[in-house]
Amino acid sequence: MILTVTLNTALDITYRVRALRPHASHRVSEVTERPGGKGLNVARVLAALGHEVTVTGFTGGATGRVVQERLTGVPGVVDALLPVSGATRRTIAVVDERTGDTTQLNEPGPTVTPDEWSAFQEAYDDLLASASVVALCGSLPPGVPVGAYAGLIRSAKAAEVPVLLDTSGEALRRGVAARPDIIKPNADELAELTGSHEPLRATQDARRRGARTVVASLGEAGLLAVTPEGRWQATPPTRLHGNPTGAGDAAVAGLLSGLVEKLPWPDRLTRATALSAATVVSPTAGEFDRATYEEFLNRVAVTAEVTAA
């Protein structure tokens, strides 16, 4: 079982408008809602790939009930979310149909009490007993200690469960020090962590800070992986136009599925890049078309420099 942790779950709401203009009234042409937060997005892609996934984290209030109701309709995903007294946040995406650009509005999330955090830690330790890998994803809601991911990484390592960390800012800095197996920052998050805007130098520095493997999302340049076995870069098959919402989460799902299937790193990166690209070009934010994914899978280019990284 793959376990994904989303401490700050959300109800993702997407509005489509003909053209987004500041200070104007807009007629919405389409509204979609789905369970959100990075770990839930990852789980949905993993389930589409045929993997069994358990999701945990926090949910609360009327919005949280909608999130859980929507999860029941996702085959292969098991809901192990814990209740909190506050209300689950909403994220609002407004898609400009004319340009394809997306404007994102993210609420902060509910305040988690110390008792709620303690209950989560106990539940998490129980779930680790049957997990083959765990992904810790996204932002921390108010009330959760900034070093939360570092503690969860140490628990996973004590249970001998590989752990992937996908977060940013101080939560990433502290999490890296706990020595996760994989981190998956984007270029800006990696630069904030290391102070370097040169991707290869920054990924190597992140490994020195504690991450065993660093897989950096470089936008149109694809994925750069620096591992104990070597370095690889995977690039998408074409210049992509579309909505990048959820593309990073699709890449994480590709990496996790490749890990549990024991694929070599070039194949993991090929899958992650193809999934990410298929998500960008999908008309529905955060989703991917299977045929498009399989087409891209055969066209991703992977270059290698196998060294003692």
**Which residues are tagged catalytic?**
249
Which helix or strand (DSSP H or E) is residue 57 part of?
strand 53-59
Q: What residue spans of the chain are helical by DSSP H?
A: 38-48, 61-71, 114-128, 148-158, 169-177, 187-194, 199-208, 247-260, 265-281, 290-297
3-state DSSP of 204-247: HHHHHCCCCEEEEECHHHCEEEECCCCEEEEECCCCCCCCCCCH
d(C-alpha 185, C-alpha 172), whole Å: 9
Q: Show the tokens assigned to 17.
A: 């408008």
Q: Do residues 30 and 21 make contact, with C-beta atoms less than 8 angstroms apart?
A: no
Q: How far is CA 298 from the centre of its chain?
A: 24
Which residue in 106, 124, 95 sits closest to 37, CA to CA? Answer: 106
* Long-range CB contacts for residues 185-190, cutoff 8 Å, separation at least 24: 185/214, 185/216, 185/217, 186/216, 186/217, 186/218, 186/219, 186/248, 187/216, 187/217, 187/218, 187/219, 190/214, 190/216
d(C-alpha 183, C-alpha 306), whole Å: 19
Which residue in 91, 93, 49, 57 sits closest to 74, CA to CA? Answer: 49
Which residue in 272, 289, 271, 273 sits closest to 281, CA to CA? Answer: 289
